[in-house]
Amino acid sequence: MEIVERENSEVKTTVSYRELKIAMDSEMGKAAESFVRIGYLFKMARDTDVLQESGYTSYLEFAQKEYGMDKSQVSRFINIHTKFSDPEDPTRLNEKYQGFGSAKLALMLTLPDTIIEELTPTFAKSDIQAVKEEIEAEGKVSDLEIIAEQAETTKEPDGQQDVLHQVVDQILDGDLYMRIKIRQALKSSRKEALLQEILAPAGEAMHSVRIKGVGRLMLSVKGLDTEIALINVRSDSKEMYSWEAVIRAVEDYCTSHTDPEPEKKTEVAPVQPTEKPEKKKERKVSKVTKAREAEKLPSRSRKVPQEEVPSEQTAPETPTTPVAIHSTAPAGFVGDEKAEEGNRQQESAQTAEPQLEGQMEIEQFPQYLPENYIKCHDGSEVQESEDARIRAEWRRHVENICTPILTYLRQHPELIQKITITEEGIVIE
C-alpha cells in the first residue's frame, strides 16, 4: 500500500493514522519473519560444517566479522527461531505469533508457555514488559517464605476460600471505582457483557494478584465466548473458569462487602463555550494490572539502648534552675558578678575547640579493645553478643541444608502432615 507521495521533494501524507498503523504492523511482522530466518541461518552455521571453507573458526566469529554482532545478539536470533518458528517449516514464523513483531517476541523469550498462550498481538510492548516484571518479582520469593505464609493463612478466615474467590476479592479490594461500576452492572439484564467490559476495557486484560502461601496469580480475561484463565506463576499451571463462576465470585464479594453509595449531584446546564473546544487525546488503556505490593512488616530487630556519654568537646548545658551565688563582694556588686559569670559560660560554649588533627583514638590501640568490638555509624560503641553471632551462623547453616529438602517437599506436598512455627523456627512433620 502506498502511504506517502512526494511533492517538490517533500513527503505529503495521503492516508489516515489507521492506515499508517496497519502498514506499520505489516512491516513489523515482516521484521519478525526476518528474525526467524536469520536465527535459522545462524543455527545452520553453528550446527553444520558450512563455514569450513570460509576461514572462520566459529559462527560467532563469522557474525562478528561479517555483521558486527556480538554473542548476545546472535543468541537472541537463535532463541527466537527456536521458540517461535513453525515446526513444519523452520524458516517461517509460527502462525500463532504472526503480528507480534520482533521487539515483543524478544520480551516473550523468557515467559512461560502458559502466559504466552494468553497474549495476543494487541498487547502493547509495555504490557508484555509488565507481565515479565511480575514473573521476575515472584521469582525473588523463596520457598521458605511461601511455607511460612501457608502456616499464617490457616489462621485467617480468608484462607478457607477457594482460589478464584481470593483472586476476585483482591482485584476488587484495590479499586473502588471498579466496585461501584460492578454493583451497577449486576442490577442490569446485561450483567455478563457489562462485567466483561469492566474487567477488560480494551477487550482483553490480565490482572495480577499475590495470595499468601500461593504466590502470584494472573487472571486472563477475554471475550464472553472464551473461558477465563487463572495462571499460577509459581507452579506454571493453569485453570479455566466459566463466566458464570466468575460472576458468582463477584456477587459473593458484593454481598459480603459494603461500599458508600455515590453521591447524586444535581444536574446543572453547562456553560456554552465561546471557542471551539480542542479535541482530547484518547488515553491509552493498559491491559495488564500489576499485583499490589504487600505491606512491609515492622523490623523485629531490637534496639540496644545507648547511654549518652558527654563529649569533651561539647560545652555543659547552662542549668535552667537559679543558682545561689555566695559572694564576699559588697552588696552593690552582686548583680555585676552574676552577669560576668553568665558571659563567661556563653563565651566558653562558643569558643569550644574542635577536635585537633592527629588526636589519638581508641581504635589505634586494638590490644586494649574488648572482643567483638563494634563502632556504630553514629559513633557509639557496642559489643556484639556471642549468642547472637552463634545463632546467626546456625541459621545460615540450617538454611543451606534445608534448601534441597524444601524443594523436594514442594514437589511432594502429600508428605507434609503438620507445620509448626515457634520462636526457634519452623518445624515440618
Query: Residue 158's pLDDT band (boundaries 50, 70, 90)?
Result: low
> Cα Rg for the chain, rounded, in angstroms?
35
Cα(422)–Cα(413) distance, integer angstroms = 21
Give every CB contact of residue 103 below 8 A, 6+ residues apart in sequence: 28, 125
Average pLDDT over residues 184-191: 90
Q: Could you give phi then psi for residue 377, rounded to 5 degrees?
A: -65, -25
pLDDT in tens, 340-385: 555 555 555 455 455 555 556 666 666 556 655 555 555 555 555 6
3-state secondary structure of 320: coil
pLDDT number for residue 257: 85
Q: What does the pLDDT look like over 201-235, one tens digit per residue?
A: 888 999 999 998 899 999 999 988 999 999 999 99
pLDDT of residue 251: 92
Lowest-confidence range among 217-231, 249-263, 286-300, 350-364? 350-364
* Least trusted range by pLDDT, from 136-140, 324-328, 363-367: 324-328
Average pLDDT of every residue of the chain:
75
3-state class of 312 per DSSP? coil
What is the structure's pLDDT at 317? 47
Nearest residue to 174 (alpha-carbon basis) of 91, 277, 69, 253: 253
pLDDT value at 422 more than 90 = no
Q: Looking at residue 332, what is its pLDDT?
A: 42
Q: What's the full length of the chain, in residues? A: 429
Residue 417 has pLDDT above 90, yes or no: no
DSSP letter string over 154-176?
TTSGGGGS-HHHHHHHHHHHT-H
Give the cell for residue 365: 590501640
Higher pLDDT, 393 or 139: 139
User: Cα(96)–Cα(92) distance, rounded to whole angstroms?
Assistant: 11
Cβ 185 vs Cβ 272: under 8 Å: no
Share above pLDDT 90 across residues of the chain, in percent, rounded to a whole number: 33
- pLDDT cut 70: percent of the chain above it: 64
CA distances (Å), origin 161, targets 169, 212, 219, 248, 296: 10, 12, 17, 13, 24
**Per-residue model confidence (pLDDT) at position 309:** 45
Q: How confident is the model at residue 296 (pLDDT cuts 50, 70, 90)?
A: very low
3-class secondary structure, 4: strand
Question: What pLDDT does residue 359 have?
Answer: 57
Angle 59-67/17-47 helices, nearest 10 degrees?
A: 140
Among 191-200, 279-288, 309-318, name the most confident range. 191-200
Q: Would you call 290 helix, strand, or coil by DSSP?
A: coil
Find the largest Cα–Cα distance for the chain. 117
Q: What is the mean pLDDT of residues 325-331?
A: 41
Residue 65, pLDDT > 60, answer yes
Q: Per-residue pLDDT averaged across 90-114, rounded?
A: 90
Residues 270 and 187: their CA atoms lie apart, in Å, by 30
Is pLDDT of 289 > 80?
A: yes
